[in-house]
Amino acid sequence: MKIRVGIAGTSGSLMQDGWTQAFAQPGCGFEIVGNASLGSSHAVMLPYRLPLLDDVAMDVLIVDLCVNEQRALNRNLHDPAQTAALFAWLRGWCADRGILPVVLILPHVTTAGLRHSAVRDHWAEMCRAAGLPFLDGYRLLRHACFFGERAPRHFMSGPNHLNPRGAKMTAEVLMETLTRFLQHAQIGTEQGSVHEFRHVHLNGKAERSTSLMTEHLHRLLIGDTLRAETGPGDLVGMVLNMNASCAALVISGQDMRVKRLDSPHARADSTPAMVCWSLLHPVAAADDCFVLSVQPARDMSGQEDNDHTDPGRPAEVAEPAVELAGLVIRGPARARRLVMTSGAEPDLLRLLD
């Protein structure tokens, strides 16, 4: 009987020649039953995308979120505490459905080579504490480079993506070690205090379609305001069309924050690209709502940056605008069952020793 696999990752989980292809091969012992991945996004995408898998019968959920978090950390735009809260929420989501989460840590390689990754260390620590399986792509790549006498570029197509050779190697190791883990692991639950997270659709009038989805967005220009009735909680992320956003979002709740949503990808009449980006400094709702507006994005102006901006490549759009699909809200913490395991080594690479 095949192991049913769901996936919640970013661009590496969506590439046509990526690691997921090996899981779709006949006779591999696995079957992909749902893929809720979203490119160029952070862990806050989970409350937005996982509802697509609410009714999907699966045994494991492979989570691939580390590359974009490391990109954000490289620019001081990553909060490990927020990731920890989302990971706990994910464990609760999986416990309610009898699903085992599996963390795939894919490597981020810079011009300086394969460096130490604090994001990798944080995800590995969270998994070990809960006994949940994880594959360390950094260590796997180092081993492959050492024993194969190759440079990292032999397995990478760029700083953030494996090439077909690296993807195939990663998938084969993941399938082999995960099979061994499942033979010995005892899956159970424990009680924990977990923040609730939810995605609030803004139900805009502008319809945009991509190969993954159709969304309705609000297009905000200078002078526009949008009152978003979200209920109580803190705004921690936003879902946007990256290719049509070339301004900063002004968020007014109990406090005010300005978040840059511009990037070199913004183009007039370009194909939509939906992403979910985190807000480093969350804002609490005022009277159960937020008032949103836009202003021009500026360097060195006190606006919170995003990990895609590039001063040397400004957006090729003259009119400042933002296209928003929804907001990710963090609610209060409550007691909840969380999935955990015992009886097996969670560091999957050790199962090859």
Mean pLDDT by groups of 10 residues along the chain of 353 residues: 96 94 93 96 98 97 95 94 98 98 92 76 98 96 88 86 95 97 98 98 94 93 98 98 96 98 88 96 98 93 93 78 98 98 97 86
SS3 sequence of 290-346: EEEEEECCCCCCCCECCCCCCCCCCCCCCCCEEEEEEEEEEEEEEEEEEEEEECCCC
Q: What is each CA distance from 232 to 204, 249, 294, 332, in whole angstroms?
A: 21, 20, 23, 9
Query: For residue 131, what pLDDT is reported?
Result: 98
Query: Kind of pairing, strands 30-35 and 256-260?
Result: unpaired
CB 193 within 8 A of CB 333: yes
Query: For residue 185, what pLDDT is reported?
Result: 98
Q: Which residue, 36, 35, 44, is CA-closest to 306?
A: 44
Torsion sign, CA atoms 263, 268, 272, 274 = positive
320: region left, alpha or beta (phi > 0 left; psi from -120 to 50 alpha): beta
CA 243/CA 210 separation, integer angstroms: 11
CA 160/CA 135 separation, integer angstroms: 17
CA 65/CA 321 separation, integer angstroms: 28
| Residue showing tokens 């862990």 | 43
What tokens does 28 get? 């591999």
Amino acid making up residue 131: G
Query: For residue 112, what pLDDT is reported?
Result: 58
